A = this chain, B = another copy of it.
Amino acid sequence: MTKQIAGNYFEDFALGQEIRHATPRTVTAGDAALYMALYGSRFAMQSSDEAARHLGYARAPMDDMLAFHVVFGKTVPDISLNAIANLGYAGGVFARPVYPGDTLSTVSTVIGLRENSNRKTGTVYVRSVGTNQDGKTVLDYVRWAMVRKRDPESPAPEPHVPDLPEAVAPADLGLPPGVDFSAYDTQLSGQPHLFQDYEVGERIDHVDGFTIEEAEHQMATRLYQNTARVHFNQHVEKEGRFGRRIVYGGHIISIARALSFNGLGNAIAVAAINGGRHINPSFAGDTIYAWSEVLGKHEIPGRRDVGALRLRTVATKDRACADFPLEGPDGKVDPAVVLDLDYTVLMPCRV
């Protein structure tokens, strides 16, 4: 009787299958402090209980991306332990704030399956829902990953690729009841620019760079109880494709979000993840930079105090972003690009 966690292979998944993931996790002020030490985030509402209360929150909520990583981490042993690549995200909605003391659990449903033509792998689409101790949804998102087959000969399932939204609709963003950003003071961020000050197509270089250390990305990834082996085992990875441990892609997302404070300092919360790709792996020693483009400006139904900015944030390694690197003249993605993230933030309006 084998007792180890073997993870699922492509043929273990069935359309409609529901997977209740292990390891409920109470997040605390300790996690918030570690998150700050790891990323140096300065968004005021997550930094200050007083600022958050002033806006109608119970207290400073956890950073949205910390909640994302914790909810995501639980899915790894069941969904992606035998994955080759995490291919994409869609339809991610941060439905309500996560506070210190909340206990998070995740349930996933298989919403798509398609075997690859090489018969060795297939794409698994799952919708994962993170809930708190009251059973309320805090995060709901889709991801898809390329997962190995246990046996290339096993039969392919009926292919099914789910319809995925191009972006989360503004009406679907989760604004907690009782919250009012009319009283938002730009003094909190030291940056004067509010919703009205951003234009679609505008691009912002976030200027600062941030060098990754092995201890940092390992501590972050363990904090999220993400068990993907490539992040932790140099003894194996030194023989692998890159010769070293690979940084969890979500660590880059959090670095990029923290860097984006410089130019987007009033983007007080992440409301949605519309899509995203980890374009290249990152490693300890890489210095991460980022720039953002405003993809859309959306009023939120019934709200005059806050609007939604749809952003594309691109992160690079060892390359400053003053010229907004993405695609070269040949149409190929610049090899320095590591992340291309499409997401929606909340930003107070000037009222």
Contact = CB atoms under 8 A, between A and B. Distances in A.
B262 A5 contact: yes
Interface stretch (A158-166, A186-194, A324-332): A186-194
Contacts of A197: 1, 3
Interface stretch (A137-145, A172-180, A201-209): A201-209
A233 interface: yes
Interface residues of A, number: 80
Nearest to A318: B235
A305 interface: no
Number of copies: 3
Given A235-B211, A287-B233, A47 B34 contact: no
A245 interface: yes
A17 interface: no
Interface in A210-231: 210-211, 213-216, 218-223, 225, 227, 229
A38 to B, nearest CB: 7
A51 interface: yes
A87 to B, nearest CB: 24
A157 interface: no
A28 B25 contact: no
Q: Max chain B CB contacts within 10 Å: which of A23, A47, A233, A245? A: A23
A50 B33 contact: no
B22 A223 contact: no
B50 A225 contact: no
B209 A26 contact: no
A40 B234 contact: no
List 9 tightest A-B contacts by C-beta distance, closest first: A30-B33, A22-B190, A40-B222, A235-B287, A215-B215, A24-B48, A28-B29, A209-B233, A30-B30
9 contacts: A4-B207, A23-B44, A23-B48, A31-B36, A36-B225, A38-B219, A40-B227, A51-B103, A209-B236
